[in-house]
Amino acid sequence: MLAGAFALSLLNAPAAQAADTGITVSGIVVNKGKSIVVGTTKVVEPSLAFHIALPAGYTTADPFRYDAHPFFYRGDIKQAARTGENYIGPGGYTCYEDGAKKADCEGSLYIDPHPSRDHVDSNSDATQWKVGVALRLFKADGGLKAEEYETRSATVRLKRAAKVTVNASPEPVTKGKKITVTGKLTRANWETKKYGGYGGRSVELQFRETGTDTFKAVKKVTTSSTGALSTTVTATVDGTWRWVYRGNDTTGAATSGGDHIDVR
């Protein structure tokens, strides 16, 4: 049975004095524990799961009397939640009753890199964010009774998305001759909303022989200051070449498409 619906907006809530709501939020899992990677245009909606327990006088049968959900933030928790700056909250979630006072909730967060939003508007946002919970109780007439924000020890890491391209030539190639594999590594710039070259990064060249299922590492190449990749290898058998970037603390991983070479 449904115990809750879409998250109420903290930004549109009437002001109230901080008070202990008695609501407990536990078991918070964001994006299945993985980092969240965001590009320059596409909305990202990482999964969100949590458990709530209500205080005396409240029941999951009346979901309009309370609101409780996690979010993540940077800086001051109250300022982030009330202004929306350095704040990322749920796009929507649904809670399922687990008795009269408990519920298991699942849904997603909402991250929009569009310039009109404050979600990721600086490259410094590619870091660890703190996890908080918003807790509110409402009176029978709909007025706000109590509101509080709790910070948690857990963190969520946001990363800038990366892309890598590949080109192998010449094609076809004579067996035993050299081929050149090039490409470019770029990553999202949240300030310009464009992708720019990512220099000084170690990227792995991989090869899959035709008729097999597994790519194997061949060598590692460091990108130029503009993110360019280039190396030469000896052509021995037909197969597909690709680049793989493993990512780091601020940037997500990326794998290029494959470029097939016919060896004659």
Which of 256, 257, 246 lies closest to 202, judged by CA? 246
**What SS3 string covers 84-126?**
CCCEECEEEEEEEECCCCEEEEEEEECECCCCCCCCCCCHHHC
Write down all domains in the chain, each with its CATH number in brackets: 2-159 (2.60.40), 162-261 (2.60.40.730)
pLDDT for the residue 238: 97
Q: Which residues of the chain have pLDDT under 50?
A: 1-17
Instruction: Give the SS3 label for residue 250.
Output: coil
pTM: 0.89
pLDDT for the residue 42: 96
Question: pLDDT (tens digit, 9 = 90+) per residue, 103-132?
Answer: 999 999 999 999 988 899 999 999 999 999
Q: Do 101 and 58 touch, CB atoms closer than 8 A?
A: yes
pLDDT for the residue 134: 96
pLDDT for the residue 117: 86
List phi, psi (to 5°) of 186. Answer: -130, 160
**C-alpha span between 84 and 11 (Å, rounded):** 7
